[in-house]
Chains A and B, each alone.
Chain A
Amino acid sequence: MSELFEDYATAARRTPAFDEMFDGDQLPRAEYSQVAAALSELNLADVTARADSMARTFLDRGVTFDFAGEERPFPLDIVPRVIAGTDWQVLEQGVAQRVRALEAFLNDVYDKMSVVADGVIPRRLITSSAHFHREVSGFDPAGGVRVHISGIDVVRDQQGTFRVLEDNVRVPSGVSYVLENRRAMAKGLPEAFGQQHIRPVEEYPRRLLAALRKTAPPGAEDPTVVVLTPGVFNSAYFEHTLLAGLMGVELVEGRDLICRGNRVYMRTTAGEQRVDVIYKRIDDEFLDPLQFRADSVLGCPGIVNAARAGMVTIANALGNGVADDKLVYTYVPDLIRYYLSEEPIIANVDTYRLEDADAREEVLDRLDELVVKPVDGSGGKGLVIGPDASAEELSALRTRVLQDPRGWIAQPVLQLSTVPTMSGGQFSPRHVDLRPFAVNDGENVWVLPGGLTRVAMKEGSLIVNSSQGGGSKDTWVVDGQVNGPVTVPEGPPVTVRERVSVWPIETGWQDRQPEQQQQQLDGREGSGNA
């Protein structure tokens, strides 16, 4: 191994976490062998130069997120995160299963609530969720899908088992980094690409567009899809432009839209044009000032009525937040059993429901050992990691939990798995999570191979959010025997086309070509020193 890995074993021993690249004897696991071989050829100067060039490309291409009003490049680490094809197969099925269960749950919650009647989940838990929107109760969305796009966050625990950490079925973001990371890595670490089959990610925009068009309101012959962004100041604006650009559809802001007679139009230079499918990248609360926050200028008045009338598809559907509430999360394994009659493929992380008196008592006794999270938070906001918190923070947390037990859950501190990451001139273990993205077109749930791996840049840190100094890694799903000959999975058979000639027959011009070039050369020589 190269000098860059010199202290890796020592650092890895400091944490009980599962290391994804090296096994217990500090030998690279089979799926990482190509990466390890590529990295061992590099010295510090190489790695630094490549990392710089990758960062520069990101800045030039504008692959940034907005942090406190400033555009920052999303740091990409040079070591990819590799998942073996066999492991991925399980993950893929598990994620799809979860999406199907949540889809069924949402359909039920906004309809008959039989899940409550059958005693699987308490009614008050649903009705007390901040994202249970009565405004959208009692109608099926046009196209029949609620969770078009989802991001199911998974982590690997100390044994290396995948577990679901949370579900995101409102506006999951991050897929643009998956697409950009792959492009950057192909230039930054080309050596590792050659000898193995890495499942491609670039079909995501096509899949997404196909799913969105498929779920258009009935009657739309050639549905018009738009991406609705809150505007250029949103932290994920880059992603909105990238997706709209790659799908070849318009990126609209609320002020570009207008609702009339329960139909949605956009203002174009050729007048108003009907919109059939809206890929919504703004929060529900801001979408329609008539139904939700009246002070919102990001949305378009009347859009919810249009959806209710079945004239426009909104993806993801409104009110999905009730399914990714962190307290509902604790019931998802039960929901899978209830709706699909299947056993969950990926387990949850053990979670305490703080509104349950016994659990609350236990948690309050052990606050300093647990992670406590608000149920409707995202981006790591409000999360308290017990072992790292000061006494004051813990006592403040205790008061807040007692005031609103429904608002919090607690989980044991999970030692997320580690992957080597460039830091301070050498590779050292850093904790990672994974967000696979799933696209649901109503019939199939397709999971993007890989997903977004976020990595905590500080040693020992478990917080991977980009807003809190996290970076990302390109995520490779690697198939085939890694050491033997590569087996490319079977695609559609390549057909060899016959050559057909349609141009009028021309004789002789190819014979004259060398002659002409020769003439030009002669001419140049002749005039050169005249």
Chain B
Amino acid sequence: MLSRIAESLFWIGRYVERADGTARILDVHLERLNQMPRGEQREVSRQLLGVMGTRPPAGEFELSDLLHALAYDRTSPTSIAGALGAARENARRARETVSGSVWEGLNTTWYGLTQHRKDVVGTYRFCHWVVERTAMVRGLSDTTMSHDESWQFLVLGRSLERADMTARMLSTHDVHAAGLSWVNMLRCAGAYESFLRTRRASFGDQQAAEFLLLDRLFPRSIVYALGDAEKCLTNLNPAYRRVGFINDASRIVGQARTFLEFHQTTDLMSELPEHMERVQKACARASDAISRTYFSQADELSWVGEVS
């Protein structure tokens, strides 16, 4: 397949997952933020934006600014609207490769972006709607596209972004030192029920963080998502090697996953910030490595002469 198309698919995967993750995080935090006094609200809004990867602007930063920056700002790829717009734009470029229903799903979502009230209550609805729409797009891409190279790129982008998003969800816990309960944290990832059924009585910070970080069976856990990304990378280049690794991206993702998976600790909570930072860094570096291997175009078109 064309490198350009592969790149578009990778980014469709990433952006859709990002919109989903951001909507989940915003939904849960909004509940908390609403109950805070004004001053604290401002401070926490600012920090939350930082965790999501955007530097807050200087000056006053109100809750409504946070909503704009994370939900409705179409110019920023960190916001939900921006991510969905970018996903749709990428799908437009790769329209003959994605299935008709995936394209339609993204296109209709994009047209629906403007149809929401932008106050706090409207944002709850909006987040809910985004979670639904992105789930639909994921479902459609899994059931209507061949699971060939193109789909692998889509899932690769999705898995990396998912690991990254879960890492951010866990990082936001620091922001709310005073408040955000682990129940909400788990709800954020849609993991609450699974967690309860797995862990039953032993319930606490440590177990919840462990679940989101290390669980081998929960699809939104970091270890699981990184494992998915690894599988895609292997499928994309199935050359069998007795020694070593296939490419840089596999090495980066594999190292991060194995470290987490086989790391033994008694004090996960104090290590958590470092884990999160390293996971996010690994995702970013893996993404760069993938671009170099698969998407790199000669920077400029040049005539290479007529010698064969």
Contact = CB atoms under 8 A, between A and B. Distances in A.
Is A bound to B?
yes
A158 interface: no
Interface in B137-161: 149
Contacts of A411: none
Contacts of B1: 250, 268-270
B247 interface: no
Nearest to A262: B306
Interface string A210-244: 00000000000000000000001000010001101
A323 interface: no
A200 interface: no
Interface in A228-285: 232, 237, 241-242, 244-245, 249-256, 258-263, 266-270
In the complex, which of the residues A62, A232, A297, A302 has the most CB atoms of chain B within 10 Å of its own CB atom? A62
Contacts of B149: 269
B23 interface: no
Interface string B5-37: 110000000000000000000000000000000
A273 to B, nearest CB: 9
A269 B92 contact: no
A301 interface: yes
Contacts of A256: 2-4
A353 B3 CA distance: 50
A290 interface: yes
B301 A61 contact: no
A305 interface: yes
Nearest to B7: A269
Interface stretch (B103-111, B166-174, B194-202, B209-217): B103-111
Contacts of B5: 250
Contacts, number: 85
Interface string A192-210: 0000000000000000000
B306 A290 contact: no
A302 B2 contact: no
B294 interface: yes
A302 B297 contact: no
Range, interface on chain A? 35 or more
B111 A302 contact: no
A252 B96 CA distance: 11
A297 B95 contact: no
A349 to B, nearest CB: 38
Given A60-B111, A62-B95, A241-B95, A269 B301 contact: no
B107 A60 contact: yes
B178 interface: no
A301 B301 contact: yes
Contacts of A270: 1
Interface in B287-308: 294, 297-298, 301-308
A255 B100 CA distance: 25
A40 B104 CA distance: 33
In the complex, which of the residues B96, B97, B294, B298 has the most CB atoms of chain A within 10 Å of its own CB atom? B96
B304 A268 contact: no
A59 interface: yes
Contacts of B298: 258, 267
Given A245-B95, A251-B96, A269-B6, A297 B301 contact: yes
B93 interface: yes
Contacts of B108: 60
Contacts of B307: 261
Contact of B2 (A61, A250, A254, A261): A250
A322 interface: no
Contacts of B6: 269
Given A256-B2, A269-B294, A62 B301 contact: no
Interface in A17-64: 59-62
A127 B155 CA distance: 56
A254 B301 contact: yes
B103 to A, nearest CB: 7
A400 B93 CA distance: 41
Given A244-B96, A245-B96, A269-B149, A62 B107 contact: yes
Nearest to A300: B301
Contacts of A260: 304-305, 308
Nearest to A297: B301
In the complex, which of the residues B92, B93, B95, B236 has the most CB atoms of chain A within 10 Å of its own CB atom? B95
B306 A305 contact: yes
A311 to B, nearest CB: 10
A241 B303 CA distance: 27
A451 to B, nearest CB: 23
Given A241-B95, A245-B96, A305-B306, A252 B2 contact: yes
Contacts of A249: 96
A189 to B, nearest CB: 22
A483 B88 CA distance: 48
A255 B303 contact: no
A290 B305 CA distance: 11
Contacts of A242: 96
B79 to A, nearest CB: 21
Contact of B104 (A60, A232, A244, A262): A60
A270 B298 CA distance: 15
Contacts of A60: 104, 107-108, 111
Contacts of A61: 100, 103-104, 107
B92 A62 contact: yes
Contacts of A259: 303-304
6 contacts: A61-B107, A62-B95, A62-B107, A263-B308, A268-B3, A269-B149
The 10 A-B residue pairs with the shortest CB-CB distance, nearest first, are A261-B308, A245-B96, A241-B95, A244-B96, A301-B303, A60-B108, A241-B96, A269-B6, A251-B96, A269-B294
